[in-house]
Structure 1
Amino acid sequence: MTIKLTALASFITLAVTGCATQGNNDQTVVNNLASNLDLNYEVAIQHGAEEGLPCKTLGAEWASCDLINLTLENKGPAVTNKDWKIYFSSIRQILEVQNDQFKVTHVTGDLHTLEPTDKFDGFAEGEKVVIPYIGEYWTLFENDYMPRAYVTAGNAEPKTIVSTDTANPADYLTPLKGDQFKRVKADNNVLATPETRFEKNSDVNLVASEEVAGTILPTPLSTKLTGDTVSLANGIKIDNLTLPADMMAAVDARLAQLGVNAQGEYPVKVTILPGSFKKDQQIVGAYKLDVTKKGATVTGFDNQGAFYGMQSLISLMSTGAENSIPTLNVLDAPRFDYRGVMVDVGRNFHSKEAILRTLDQMAAYKMNKFHFHLSDDEGWRIEIPGLPELTEIGGKRCHDLSETSCLLPQLGSGPTSENDGSGFYSKQDYLDILKYAKARGIEVIPEIDMPAHARAAVVAMEARYKRLAAEGKMDEANEYRLMDPQDTSNVTTVQFYDKRSFINPCMDSSAKFVDKVITEIQAMHKDAGMPLNTWHFGGDEAKNIKLNAGFQDINAAEPTAWTGSIDQSKQDKPYQKSPMCQKLIADGVVSDYDRLPSYFAERVSAVVNGKGIENFQAWQDGLKYSKDAKAFDTDNVRVNFWDVLYWGGGASAYEWANKGYDVVVSNPDYVYMDMPYEVDPSERGYYWATRATDTRKMFGFAPENLPQNAETSLDRDGNGFASKGTVESKGFHGLSAQLWSETVGNDDQYEYMVFPRVLAAAERAWHKGEWENEYQAGVEYSQDSNLVNKKALHNEWERFANVLGQRELAKLDAAGIQYRVPVPGAKIENGKLAMNVSMPGLALQYSTDEGKTWNTYNAKAQPSVTGKVEIRAVSADGKRFSRVTSL
């Protein structure tokens, strides 16, 4: 009340006296609106094309749109001023506003402004104003609406609207109703409810703890239990004959983290004996583990194998001092050479500490490639000596329309730099990460995305150009410039940026910039004792989406009903109006504009090879116009394959392998960790590739026989699809799980999205399931094919789920990982409550008094309940809880 009275007094004083400066008046308006406006979004029509909205004529891609009601409620004094703007994020293009008192303007990326028109008649105190607008596509998850809208006016300091300054979108949304969770009317996805979760979990039973005690994750090639157990209550004593000091320190740190005494009694010998392995077992990372009553022996084929053998021994342990493990013999080696995790820190920044925690878990589960996505349109995250603008401007987001001090806000980061959108790793931070990874046998693969997804770099180098040009240092100003100033190409990128999203591949200064960045990062790797073995070029999505198949020209000779109508004559391919690129094509260096990104990739590969870097890596679409892997200068060329299986990826992956590329399977519909865990609007994530990927789905992914997945999973609309490969193939090089960060802000959200499902990715990267069929060209899989041993798949999952619930999640707790606690299932029959959970072993709780009292659920004595019942699952350490649901 005090704030409102103060604001009202100020407003009256300004109105009556007219003596305040315009600047003060602007600030008052900003403060009033920011403090007192309540924003609310509500989906009015989800399936616009099916319910009469003019999606096609408005130019919506694939003629798909929805109608959103944006309600502004003024809980403060009346507002008559028209000279203000609200900046807000919309990940969908806004096609039409249906309230003539307001207009919406696209700024860049997802940033838009809402401002009054001349017809605006003010906000009365207590008034609610509805602003309906038509947006492209659909809105199915709460995080489609980004937080931290903010107000500006004149030269006033921008202020975040308090009602949107929250990490929980539900605070400013109206829940979806009825079938609004469906993308289209034919969507057959099942909404996650207590009852549907209960049904899904019902085939996973609690397995006796002694039955899972001998299970190592990820699963070894061979495990033979020998019938005894060994108590570790008095700790272990390691006789290390092989591991370097840093790797041994990492082992000790893991033991300490889990509360295991490493200065105890039970003897553990660690050694390397390559000669003890048969020829077909001599693989990097191979090991033997023998546990007897008298002691344990870890025998590695190499240092990495010895390290993994120790991780397997630790895998058998529980947290705390009271430990007993079974006696056994293990022979093990990895399935894939490349077992990766990719983390995007460009869209939103994640702390060094969170990255180190991830590296810890990668080591524990034998993943060996950390693909570090360090730049994107929304941020540049690594210090480069000599190019301070990259981090001082490209690593920071704030409200600066000139973008000479920071990038404009994106993804709901708000008007200041105190947000998840700002941040970078200093040179020392990066060195710390490299050394930490090296001690755990993990290669760090830096990715600087280019030529697309490069806006942070382009804007930063433009700011550098302006600074040096103003000082008259033109040669220096042009040295690392990335944008042709005469390029007038009209381009819209996948995330709605313009031509400044692209590094121009036709400029020598672009190549010089790349050389500079690689040189500096390579020097950091050398300083850390981890040679730079792989350079990731990025390369993805270098296109104008307005020229995609989802649009057609307004004058198309044969118009279709399912594509958006736009004037495509006004659209350009990237670089099409760059004089520098026009000359390159005129001179015959490149045949056409489509091939410029691949041309640039080949040019960068020459730089990479010239620096002695062995591997060149990219997202596969960035290389699609190169003939094959031999077009590049490095001996090895890897591609992260990210075609969606139900859109043909089950066939095209093998074609890439046959072109000589080392294919790293990275399919969005199975191993993208930015997709939601389940079909529940409250879950976090984008969902363009699939509506949900939980730990079970990731566990059931067959990465070598991609068509097989059509029998065990559905497409994004919950429908079956068919898949078959068309060519014989040399096979794949690896598997990688990806975390893109558009919807992932703070570290807790990051760890929620990655854990525990990344453990399933680790399992598939290391171990081939009994139920995985060999790939055969021409064999088609579908929901009706019945070629997969689903009983074997179920049995393996049930065991894996029990090991997570009974043992491994407690280790994540001990490591400080804020993993997702699964939401339980429940049903009420005859007044009795039945509950279950996807990872048996976790405690379950219920409440019948609106959460005032929580009772522990006992499956053997189902409680009688009446009225509303709230339920939740409890983390393994009892300190955190799942999302609460009710029935």
Structure 2
Amino acid sequence: MKRFILSAFLAAASLTSFGQSIIPQPVSLQQGSGKFQFTNQTQVVASTPEAKRLAGLLNQYLKKRTGAELKIVSKAPASNYIAFIEKTGLPAEGYELKATPQSVQISGKDAGLFYGLQSVMQLITGDAKPEIASVTIEDHPRFGYRGLMMDVGRHYMPLSFIKQMIDEMAMLKFNRFHWHLTEDQGWRLEIKKYPKLTQVGAYRDETLIGAYGDRMPQQFDGIKYGGFYTQDEAREVVKYAAERHITVIPEIELPGHATAALAAYPELGCTPGPFKVQTTWGVHKDVFCPKEETFQFLENVLTEVMDIFPSPYIHIGGDECPKDRWKESEFCQNLIKKENLKDEHGLQSYFIRRIEKFLNSKGRNIIGWDEILEGGLAPNATVMSWRGEEGGIAAAKENHDVIMSPNGYVYIDHYQSKDRKQEPLAIGGFLPLEKVYSYNPTPKELTAEQQKHIKGVQANLWTEYIPTAGKAQYMYFPRAMALAEVAWSPLNRKDFTEFSEQRLPVYLRKLEKRNLYFRVPDAIGMPKEDTLRGSQFTINLKAPVEGAKIYYTIDGYMPSEATYPYSKPISLTIPQNRRVDLKTIVVTPAGHRSIVSTTTLVNGTPMPDKQPKK
């Protein structure tokens, strides 16, 4: 007789049982005894301008959560206070936090003090009677670059959503927002010298319906689509992010992914055109032509970009640049000969070097996708490695700085389940939460000295199939929480089971209370295997979101609130040569649902299901 006991991980003394749940996991966390309880007399001690600003942010958070605010004072009372203490000598972006029944003290400087506040806000439990369990934390990040990218070229995202994402990034201690602003399907940033970039380039005639290959010939919706951000709106985002210690890195794609710009200014192409803002996805052959007129245009555009974005880095794309038009162009072929370039890859390197030289002259550096390695790397470039890790490894070995962003681990536009029929349309792939969490951005192929060039890690959300903020949230969360821990926490503090079964359920419930949407994970303890063999099974489940309920069926039909609610371990005996299809669904307190998970429990060789009469 085979007997299986399948259980969710239940720690006897988990962090969450003491209310000490923080994502990303701190470097050191020691729990104490007792709790700090907020009362009407609790005060916030803030004596410097930055401390007073952070005290204001704490009050904003408390007012949204509890409806109350705390009095801000410059000197600490005997007890019952939260203090912001500026302290030097800590690691970069590091902080210390000590909560006792008498007080909560946050020590650090600049970003560190801010991140201490983010941890405090995560530690607060209870709405009617908020409190913080006693704890001592010492914390600092593993990597200096911790980023999320949002593509607004394929689909425009509202300013309100971008700010909402910046708030969530700050809570998770991300510090780089990569804003992908230009694409073949839309130019999204106002450039005053070139108004047609937004008058023409920001709008496409229609958008593809469904996936690229769903309907052949392809079908479109016939609806004009577009939008852009004014320079004032972009500055507003930059300021909002800076107040939360997040640097906004703009991306202006070149020399490829430029059709929207060419539609506005066709003289920048290698052919007369006409060009149109693309209505379908993929890589398109029309790219910027490396004429002096083009470089003057790009320098003028980048001058306005630099005036808006103070980031030390400007992302210039550099990826997926087909060479067809350059091969066909007499001008380009003559330029290759004139500059003693090897081929069109060398011409791309020439193009990137020209742009880098201009940006370097203005005190800025470039980041580019790993294709900028082709034909020779520009002298001061930072490589963002997306086609696996190979480009990043090669760049680090040449002593160039690298941001790891491999599509197999951090492309969060990929599917989150193998059962694509239950998931919203995505571009492809399969990137579950556990795989994101498993990523280590420092390849073993590099020496310790070379690994110093790995400056951080970033997840990317490409929006071909993500037209709304709600769907973007579904794709970001909870995978962004996993990446936050990859970027911040030391390797010896990472534990996926503890993360996903203890801290993540608490965080997701808080996310839901903040009215953000996310993919609800499967019930904890549900077998990952499609089929299990045996005669007796005991299955222990746990809700993946605090307060959520699990419903199940064993009759092969779909679970819902009308089927069995899970309240105790499911014990099943499977007769010889029979099977049971166990199906579960999770429903959160706000009514959000997981997909239906199915595991078939088999004993022997089951008889086929009886087919209904036709």
* Gap regions ≥5 residues in structure 2: 72-78, 208-216, 275-279, 600-614
In structure 2, the residue matched to 1:538 is 317
Deviations 1:266-310 (A, max 9, x none): 411112121xx3xxx442x1111111221111111x211111111
Give the SS at the match of 1:871: strand
- Cα deviation, residue 392, structure 1: 2.4
In structure 2, the residue matched to 1:655 is 394
Residue 297 in structure 1 maps to residue 105 in structure 2 = yes
- Cα deviation, residue 220, structure 1: 1.8
What is the rounded CA distance, in whole Å, between the counterparts of 1:756 and 1:833 in structure 2? 28
Compare relative contact order (CA 8 Å, sep 6+) and give the higher one, 1 or 2. 2
Deviations 1:323-349 (A, max 9, x none): 332222222111111111111111222
User: Are the counterparts in 2 of residues 845 and 857 from structure 1 also a CA contact under 8 Å?
Assistant: yes
Query: What is the aligned counterpart of 2:190 among 383, 400, 418?
Result: 383
Residue 342 in structure 1 maps to residue 149 in structure 2 = yes
In structure 2, the residue matched to 1:323 is 130
Give the SS at the match of 2:253: strand
- Cα deviation, residue 387, structure 1: 2.1
In structure 1, the residue matched to 2:369 is 619
Query: What is the aligned counterpart of 1:644 among 367, 388, 398?
Result: 388
Calculate the TM-score normalised by the size of structure 1.
Answer: 0.58
Q: Which amino acid aligns with 2:549?
A: L
User: Are the counterparts in 1 of residues 284 and 322 from structure 2 also a CA contact under 8 Å?
Assistant: no
In structure 2, the residue matched to 1:356 is 163
What is the rounded CA distance, in whole Å, between the counterparts of 2:142 and 2:565 in structure 1? 41
In structure 2, the residue matched to 1:675 is 414
Residue 822 in structure 1 maps to residue 521 in structure 2 = yes
- Cα deviation, residue 435, structure 1: 1.7
Give the SS at the match of 2:203: coil
Residue 882 in structure 1 maps to residue 594 in structure 2 = yes
- Cα deviation, residue 594, structure 1: 1.4
- Cα deviation, residue 524, structure 1: 2.6
Residue 483 in structure 1 maps to residue 269 in structure 2 = yes
Alignment of 1:407-422 (within 5 A): 414-417=221-224, 421-422=225-226
In structure 1, the residue matched to 2:541 is 836
Deviations 1:783-830 (A, max 9, x none): xxxxxxxxxx6xx22221234444211221122211111133758998
Alignment of 1:169-568 (within 5 A): 202=7, 204-205=9-10, 208=14, 211=17, 213-232=19-38, 236-242=42-48, 244=50, 247-259=54-66, 261-263=68-70, 266-274=80-88, 277=89, 281-283=90-92, 285-300=93-108, 302-318=109-125, 320-399=127-206, 414-417=221-224, 421-462=225-266, 481-485=267-271, 497-500=283-286, 502-504=287-289, 506-525=290-309, 531-543=310-322
Deviations 1:521-572 (A, max 9, x none): 22234xxxxx23221111011235xxxxxxxxxxxxxxxxxxxxxxxxxxxx
- Cα deviation, residue 440, structure 1: 0.5
Query: What is the aligned counterpart of 2:492 among 747, 767, 770?
Result: 770
- Cα deviation, residue 206, structure 1: 6.3
Alignment of 1:91-110 (within 5 A): none
User: Are the counterparts in 2 of residues 235 and 262 from structure 1 also a CA contact under 8 Å?
Assistant: no
Query: What is the aligned counterpart of 1:693 among 431, 434, 459?
Result: 431
What is the rounded CA distance, in whole Å, between the counterparts of 2:220 and 2:361 in structure 1? 40
What is the rounded CA distance, in whole Å, between the counterparts of 1:521 and 1:450 in structure 2? 14
Q: Which amino acid aligns with 2:515?
A: G
What is the rounded CA distance, in whole Å, between the counterparts of 1:354 and 1:617 in structure 2? 25
What is the rounded CA distance, in whole Å, between the counterparts of 2:200 and 2:573 in structure 1? 60
What is the rounded CA distance, in whole Å, between the counterparts of 2:409 and 2:179 in structure 1? 20
Q: Percent identity?
A: 27
Residue 812 in structure 1 maps to residue 506 in structure 2 = no
- Cα deviation, residue 518, structure 1: 1.6
Residue 733 in structure 1 maps to residue 450 in structure 2 = no
User: Are the counterparts in 2 of residues 845 and 873 from structure 1 also a CA contact under 8 Å?
Assistant: yes
User: Are the counterparts in 2 of residues 218 and 365 from structure 1 also a CA contact under 8 Å?
Assistant: yes
Residue 596 in structure 1 maps to residue 347 in structure 2 = yes
* Structure 1, 739-748 or 445-454: larger mean CA deviation: 739-748
- Cα deviation, residue 251, structure 1: 3.8
User: Are the counterparts in 1 of residues 157 and 469 from structure 2 also a CA contact under 8 Å?
Assistant: yes
Deviations 1:569-625 (A, max 9, x none): xxxx44112222122122135332111222111111122122232x31111212332
Q: Which amino acid aligns with 1:874?
A: V
User: Are the counterparts in 2 of residues 842 and 874 from structure 1 also a CA contact under 8 Å?
Assistant: no
Give the SS at the match of 1:733: strand
What is the rounded CA distance, in whole Å, between the counterparts of 1:735 and 1:200 in structure 2? 38
User: Are the counterparts in 2 of residues 619 and 639 from structure 1 also a CA contact under 8 Å?
Assistant: yes
What is the rounded CA distance, in whole Å, between the counterparts of 1:249 and 1:599 in structure 2? 49
Deviations 1:356-409 (A, max 9, x none): 111001101111000001111111111222322222222212259xxxxxxxxx
In structure 2, the residue matched to 1:581 is 332
* 1:328–1:804 distance in 2 versus 1, CA, 3 Å: closer
User: Are the counterparts in 1 of residues 6 and 538 from structure 2 also a CA contact under 8 Å?
Assistant: no
- Cα deviation, residue 426, structure 1: 2.3
* Gap regions ≥5 residues in structure 1: 1-198, 401-409, 463-480, 489-493, 526-530, 545-572, 708-723, 772-792
- Cα deviation, residue 750, structure 1: 0.4
What is the rounded CA distance, in whole Å, between the counterparts of 1:836 and 1:843 in structure 2? 12
Deviations 1:110-164 (A, max 9, x none): xxxxxxxxxxxxxxxxxxxxxxxxxxxxxxxxxxxxxxxxxxxxxxxxxxxxxxx
Residue 853 in structure 1 maps to residue 565 in structure 2 = no
**CA RMSD, Structure 1 to Structure 2 (Å):** 3.5
Calculate the TM-score normalised by the size of structure 2.
Answer: 0.82
Q: Which amino acid aligns with 2:322?
A: K
- Cα deviation, residue 317, structure 1: 1.7
Query: What is the aligned counterpart of 2:405 among 649, 662, 666?
Result: 666
User: Are the counterparts in 2 of residues 235 and 260 from structure 1 also a CA contact under 8 Å?
Assistant: no
What is the rounded CA distance, in whole Å, between the counterparts of 1:593 and 1:518 in structure 2? 24
In structure 1, the residue matched to 2:214 is none
User: Are the counterparts in 1 of residues 149 and 459 from structure 2 also a CA contact under 8 Å?
Assistant: yes
* 1:219–1:831 distance in 2 versus 1, CA, 3 Å: closer
In structure 2, the residue matched to 1:563 is none
Query: What is the aligned counterpart of 2:356 among 605, 623, 639?
Result: 605
User: Are the counterparts in 1 of residues 372 and 383 from structure 2 also a CA contact under 8 Å?
Assistant: no
* 1:209–1:307 distance in 2 versus 1, CA, 3 Å: closer
* 1:832–1:620 distance in 2 versus 1, CA, 3 Å: closer
Q: Which amino acid aligns with 2:335?
A: L
Give the SS at the match of 1:391: helix
Query: What is the aligned counterpart of 1:802 among 501, 521, 530?
Result: 501
Alignment of 1:74-113 (within 5 A): none
Larger radius of gyration: 1
What is the rounded CA distance, in whole Å, between the counterparts of 1:673 and 1:201 in structure 2? 30
Deviations 1:617-644 (A, max 9, x none): 1112123322x55x24xxxx32111132
